[in-house]
A and B are shown apart, each in its own frame.
Chain A
Amino acid sequence: MTPQASFMILAAIDPERETALRQLLASMNHAAGRVNPNNSLIPFGQFDKLHFARLLIVDDKTINDIRAYNLPPVNYPLYLAFLGDVDGDRDTLLEELARLAPNGLRSIFLCCEGFTSDTDLVAWMKQHSTPSAASYVNWRGRTVRCIREEARLREALEDYIEGAAATLTGLRSQEIHTHLLRFLQAEASSGRLTLTPEDPTPLGWWISNFLHLIGVPLLFLLALPILVPIGLIVLIRLRTLEKTDPELCPRVDAAYSNALALLEDHDVTNQFTAMGSLKPGIMRLLITIFALLVIDWAARHLFIRGRLARVRTIHFARWVFLDGRKRVVFFSNYDGSLEAYMDDFINKVGFGLNLIFGNGIGYPRTNFLIKDGCSDERKFKEYLRRHQLPTQVWYDACPGLTAVELERNTRIRQGLESLSMSDQEAREWVALL
């Protein structure tokens, strides 16, 4: 299995260069919301290990919400964020970026503070890398190459089936499987179809993953004697806070919402970025850290095959702390419209949503952290839209394919890797075609 990584380069924008930066970013698109994969600044299409990438100006319009707690707003710098999800490790990708797009990256980063024309690109990117607090990958280890090969496999099977309909119609599923297996072998041996075998899992990754798998729960168990009393105090305190924490879910300004919508639904997959400030106080910070730790652990070990709890539409997602853990940004790449995405969240994983986002200022009122909250659907949708940020540049290496389709294609390939199947298995497999 190929381990996967993500990168996020975050740098303060030189206020005088903001307009120039916006123009540069816009020049990478065919039109708003539609990247040119061969743009001259960062030709994303040339990277064969990059799943998704985005560049955005982190312009939080909700920093004044903290006034609801009678606290003065903090004057955070305006950041540029450049992030992506990759096969392999982060540093290799950063080096590849510096190799394939040195001039484009330089002209972009020159709009940031502290970057000059003689700055070492790779060192600077590493220095400005910001880790995720939690991240999710739809299907662990499925590489861009694998996605593309599986998509081609499906297309080839589809074409073959269309041509051979006369032979195949009326055959039972077992027979069809055998037949298609022969077709695949012929295609593979003639070189027309490639299905690259999985790379061996690096030992180091395997060990660290195993340690993480048992280490986190172990630490949790060890800390239980401390965590229980703290947890009880937190819960009691929390319940009082929950009743008085202000809700800030006003109607989103139509112009802002329309500007966001302009960037959406150009493909079957969409990008989503939202950010906000944590509610003040150490307790909310601790809850957030703990919740993200749990999610990160679960995403790393439990939800590795196409589902984040019940949600099957997310390709990659991550949560990142900013500014000394005062603010959190959430990024995701999801299928369908935002409305459907939000409905999925509310109806399928509302508890998890409340647990994390409920610590953000203004979130619809929760009850013991996981209840209510987003089930106030209209408030939640306004809240989320209000916290959403426009993503100036967004790249998807495999457009037109939903996460569910990727799973279907993977299941098709897996079926062709087994030489025999039970009747039931064969039926289910043929139903994928």
Chain B
Amino acid sequence: MGCPSMTQSQIDYSDVQGLVRFGYKRMTEASYVLLRIRDVGAARSWLGAAPVTTAVAVDPPPATAMQVAFTAAGLKALGVADAVLSDFSSEFLAGMTEDSRSRRLGDEGNSAPSQWAWGNSGSVPHLVVMFFAEPGRLETFVATSTGKAWNDAFDVLRSLDTGDLGGFEPFGFTDGISQPQLDWEQQRDVAGGQIYYTNVAALGEFLLGYRNEYDKYTDRPLIDANARSAGLLPAEDAPEKKDVGRNGTYLVMRDLRQDVRSFWQFISRKARGDSAEIDKLAASLVGRTRTGDPLVPIQKEEIPGIGPQPDQIRQNQFTFDQDPTGAGCPFGAHIRRANPRNADYPGHPTGLARLLAMAGFGPRGFRDDLMSSVRFHRILRRGREYGPGLSPSDALLPAPPADPERGLRFVCLNANISRQFEFLQNAWVMNTKFSGLTGENDPLLGNRETTSGRPGADNFTQQKDDGLGCHVSGLPQFVTVRGGAYFFLPSLRALRYFTS
């Protein structure tokens, strides 16, 4: 499986929406327009003609880009047959706001769907059209792309503006540093246990229709070949079938309001206003300094999928192996939760040691082997900020009347929402028992409301090599969910199939 077999074809970038391959960083302006379909015929014709940007690399890069993704309700409204629709993943079909799901995602209390600005029962979008543009060009791009045909086709549910804070997220930390590298060439060998952390992910983790980290194809709608489906690519694992999912993926969108004032005021209070202490505590909550340097030393050994750019190596060539006590980067720090950087076995065992580890006779330290292997739980983040920037020092000032909302329009891509986004959110970010801890969840993202499933979450511990760790208690909730939905980001071929 290391070598591409005959059934594995070269990826057709012109069939993939560009967002899977590019973050469109140069296009600092963006707007996500949530729509409901007003007229199916008009919607199909607008979508059929929409200049959706592909993943083909062009030189010079385009100045604008447009991406389109649908919710389950949207595909239904577009007239996609139930038999096709029902083969999409169950979490996509059920949506983000299903009750039991909210409990698992931590969307409770003031983050509960009933409190959302959009995405709850009354306001589920059918689709999102994402506009990206280089500075100064968004307005024109949106204006020329919309117009009468657009107005006939859609009702605008909400237009989500975004901002650009120059590579920083609203709390003031460098953003988007660590991303998995997709194995576009499909060279990754996932057979057998992986004993070292890698940053390369099987293509099937992020694009449907390809082999994933289990060396399997994630379920997606496969349909009979006929005149209507003729334009679709065949399924690699069932060549007689047409693959509706191929070159598409799922897009998770969540509006996360960040209380930047509360964040810095809390830290300043705990650090008694001492600026060096403020920096230290803030960095330990995140696991990186504000400029993005990790709190554990980088390693000499290369990590597949990291580098060769010096910045990448400086910021990402590390695992937490060098920090088994959490004295460098606390166990509960945001980046250690979001990506524990482990492999399939603790301690890289080979030969007999590996067999023993498999049978449960590996290392028996309290924190050994607590975490699931990270390679099954990666997400590709494509979020953008919204609202005006607020520097940490300004954040210490009292809020003016009508302080504008700021936060993150979190977007991530994954082929299996339940195993990737939802697992990460549930088992790592919101989990108050993560990594042998008690009473703390993600210091940035955590919902602090106490429930029976989340007993106490407002603590944070900085471990030490020798001696008692430093407990920080009374963490306020810094992030509130304001809206969200699960979308399917189709391939260009599937988009034509949906709209023909």
**Shortest distance between the CB of A433 and any CB in chain B (Å):** 6
Q: Which of A264, A268, A351 contacts B432 (CB 8 A)?
A: A268
Q: Quick one: CB contact mask for B443-461 with A, threshold 8 Å, 1 for yes?
A: 0000000001101000000
Q: Which residue of chain A has the shortest Cβ distance to B345 in the bound complex?
A: A310
Chain A 140-173 against B: per-residue CB contact (8 Å), 1 yes, 0 no?
0000000000000000000001100100111111
- Chain B residues contacting A311 (CB-CB under 8 Å) are 360
Tell me if A347 and B373 are in contact (CB < 8 A).
Answer: yes
Q: Is the CB of A268 within 8 A of B453?
A: yes
In the complex the two chains form, what is the Cα distance from A404 to B434 in whole Å?
A: 10
Could you tell me if B94 and A336 are in contact, using CB atoms closer than 8 angstroms? no
A267 contacts chain B at the CB level, 8 A cutoff: yes
Q: Are A308 and B360 in contact (CB under 8 A)?
A: yes
| CA of A108 to CA of B459, assembled, Å | 44
Q: CB-nearest residue of chain A relative to B214?
A: A377
A325 CB–B CB distance under 8 Å: no
B436 within 8 A of A: yes
Can you show 21 pairs from A to B with CB atoms below 8 A apart? A162-B471, A169-B468, A254-B90, A264-B100, A266-B453, A307-B364, A310-B362, A312-B369, A335-B433, A336-B431, A337-B104, A339-B423, A344-B372, A375-B215, A377-B419, A378-B219, A405-B436, A428-B365, A428-B366, A431-B464, A432-B366
Interface stretch (choices A41-49, A221-229, A255-263): A255-263
Residues of A with C-beta under 8 A to B216: 375-378
Asked whether any CB of chain B lies closer than 8 Å to the CB of A247, the reply is no
Q: Mark B470-484 against chain A: 1 for CB-CB distance below 8 A, else 0.
A: 110000000000000
- Contacting pair B468 A433 (CB below 8 A): yes
How far is B94's CA from A251's CA once the two chains are assembled, in angstroms? 14
B426 touches A258 (CB 8 A): no
Q: A162–B461 Cα gap in the complex (Å)?
A: 12
| Interface presence of B116 (CB below 8 A) | no
Q: Is the CB of B360 within 8 A of A347?
A: no
CB-CB under 8 A from B93, the residues of chain A are 254
| Residue numbers in A under 8 Å from B82 (CB-CB) | none
Q: Do B419 and A266 touch across chains, with their CB atoms under 8 A apart?
A: no
> Is the pair B436, A376 in contact by a Cβ cutoff of 8 Å?
no
Contact (Cβ within 8 A) B360 A307: yes
Interface residues of A in 298-341 (CB under 8 A from B): 302-303, 307-312, 335-337, 339-340
Task: Write the A252-282 contact mask toward B (1 if CB under 8 angstroms, else 0).
Answer: 1010011001101111100000000000000
Residues of chain B contacted by A266 (CB below 8 angstroms):
103, 452-453
With CB as the reference atom, state the residue of chain B lying closest to A162.
B471
Contact yes or no, B469 A431, CB < 8 A: yes
Question: Measured between C-beta atoms, what is the minimum distance from B132 to chain A in Å?
Answer: 33
B343 to chain A, nearest CB (A): 11
Q: Is the interface of B mostly helix, strand, loop or mixed?
A: loop
Contact A337 B463 (CB under 8 A): no
Whether a CB of chain B sits under 8 angstroms from the CB of A94 is no
Using A404-B433, A407-B366, A431-B463 as known contacts, say yes or no to A347 and B344 having CB atoms under 8 A apart. Answer: yes
Q: Which residues of A contact B372 (CB under 8 A)?
A: 340, 343-344, 347
CB B89 to nearest CB in A, in angstroms, measures 9
Check A312 against B370 for contact (C-beta < 8 Å): yes
Task: Let me know if B453 and A310 touch, CB within 8 A.
Answer: no
CB-based contact A340/B453 at 8 Å: no
A404's partner among B90, B98, B416, B436 (CB-CB below 8 A) is: B436
Asked if A430 lies at the interface with its beta carbon under 8 angstroms from chain B, I say yes
Contacts of B366 in A (CB 8 A): 407-408, 411, 428, 431-432
B99 interfacial by beta-carbon distance below 8 Å: yes
Contacts A310-B369, A427-B465, A427-B466 known; A351 to B360 CB distance under 8 Å? no
CA distance A307 to B453 in the complex (A): 23
Q: Quick check: is A77 within 8 A (CB to CB) of the other chain?
A: no
Q: Return chain B residues, CB-CB under 8 Å to A310.
A: 357-358, 360, 362, 369
Q: Which chain B residues lie closer than 8 Å to A284 at the CB level?
A: none
Q: Please, what's the 1-or-0 string for B65-100, where 1 marks a CB less than 8 Å from any CB in chain A?
A: 000000000000000000000110010011000111
Contact A265–B214 (Cβ < 8 Å): no
B115 within 8 A of partner (CB): no
Cβ contacts B306-337/A at 8 Å (1 or 0 each): 00000000000000000001100000000000
